[in-house]
Amino acid sequence: MRLEPDFLLFETPVFMGSLRQTLPHWLEKKHYTQVIVLTDDNTQTHCWPQIQNLLPHSVKTITIPAGEQHKNLKTCEWIWNQMLLQQCDRKSLLINLGGGVIGDMGGFCAATWKRGIDFIQIPTTLLSMTDAAIGGKTGIDFQGIKNIIGVFQNPAAIFIDPTFLNTLAERELRSGFAEVIKHALIGSPVLLHKIHQSGNTPLPHLDWSELLRESIAVKIHVVAQDPTEQNLRMLLNFGHTIGHALESYFLDTDTPLTHGEAIAIGMICEIPKDKRAEVAKTLLRYFPVVPIPETAYPELWNMMLQDKKNSSGTVRMAVPDELPFTLNVLELSEMQLPDLLSEYQNFSPA
């Protein structure tokens, strides 16, 4: 077993590789009164059995329904009630075993329980490994607006084991791959080159350990410069102004989008026009064009008006500038939105 982290973000160690080599040794150094594992229906079935024998025999689990639609106050109330029944004190540990919903919501519940208890992130999706689990953002959706309630609270540790990716459907891998591409576009020409080199290799067959390491390095560099999103960290929201609105809109339809599918659309729409065709060529290799009805445009705009990057009622988009790790904040008007969405829908597949 080893205890040397692969990355260190402030005081949070980030371990990559087999959990058997890291998790038990880390826990041995701690003195928690009890350990609670938060799972959803999927990770309870596919991931919990992989870590169960690495934890104390007295560990307890809390399982919630899977899906973004459950990332709300009602589910938080149920989690808090379970923590109350299990008598979680301030020296308890909450392990978030799952994707972005589990990590965001579990972190929020832990950060607010008795004014804060330790939690660790064990991300099980590509999306959460490369993005959601890293950076200390916790939160939930409210009134259809993504992540509008939450706090900044860093986990006690993050454990990234790429073998969990074997449990994912290819669509879920694609969803996470959008964030990998985003990190390449905002901060890593090396990572972007590796993505282009992958050619037509099916996503399940890529060298995820190498791609994850490069992607995580981008996320950690940005967060270290701007922990609470005062400036540079907004760059991580590239594609999210339009993307989050699309994700929320389609959530209640018969054809919901994954987070990555929505963010891919957002990146194509939000990047300045002189770079749009190039970015679209990269993204459309993995994300087919999605029809967006014109009747949705007013609702999408109203959702964008609630975006956290906005200032004085102005919708703002964070996009990469010319050099890696440089931010350009663009303003978006309601009149521009139909043109952007129309141009996106007229792109041909790469």
Q: pLDDT over 90 for what percent of the chain?
A: 91
- pTM tops 0.95, yes or no: no
* Whole-angstrom distance, CA of residue 109 vs CA of residue 21: 28
Residues 6+ away with beta carbon under 8 Å from 228 = 152
- Structure confidence at residue 350 (pLDDT): 56
* Whole-angstrom distance, CA of residue 64 vs CA of residue 212: 27
The pair phi, psi for residue 329, each rounded to 5°, is: -105, 120
287 near 331, Cβ under 8 Å? Answer: no
Confidence class for position 57, pLDDT limits 50, 70, 90: confident
Residue-wise pLDDT tens digits, 97-150: 999 999 999 999 999 999 999 999 999 999 999 999 999 999 999 998 889 999
* Whole-angstrom distance, CA of residue 81 vs CA of residue 43: 21
* Whole-angstrom distance, CA of residue 328 vs CA of residue 232: 9
The pair phi, psi for residue 262, each rounded to 5°, is: -70, -40
Residue-wise pLDDT tens digits, 258-306: 999 999 999 999 999 999 999 999 999 999 999 999 999 999 999 999 8
Residues 6+ away with beta carbon under 8 Å from 302 = none
Q: Which domains does the chain have, with CATH numbers?
A: 7-167 (3.40.50.1970), 170-345 (1.20.1090.10)
Write out the two tokens for 219.
Answer: 């996320």
> 3-class SS at 40?
strand
Containing 267, the helix (H) or strand (E) segment is helix 259-270
Residue-wise pLDDT tens digits, 135-174: 999 999 999 888 999 999 999 999 999 999 998 999 999 9
- Structure confidence at residue 114 (pLDDT): 97
As annotated, the active-site residues are 115, 137, 179, 219, 229, 233, 237, 240, 244, 259
* Whole-angstrom distance, CA of residue 103 vs CA of residue 181: 21
Residue 323: is its pLDDT beyond 90? Answer: yes
Residue-wise pLDDT tens digits, 73-92: 999 999 999 999 999 999 99
- Structure confidence at residue 145 (pLDDT): 87
Residue 1: is its pLDDT beyond 70? Answer: no
Concatenated DSSP letters of 138-207: EEEEETTEEEEEEEE---SEEEE-GGGGGGS-HHHHHHHHHHHHHHHHHH-HHHHHHHHHTTT--GGGS-
* Whole-angstrom distance, CA of residue 82 vs CA of residue 87: 8
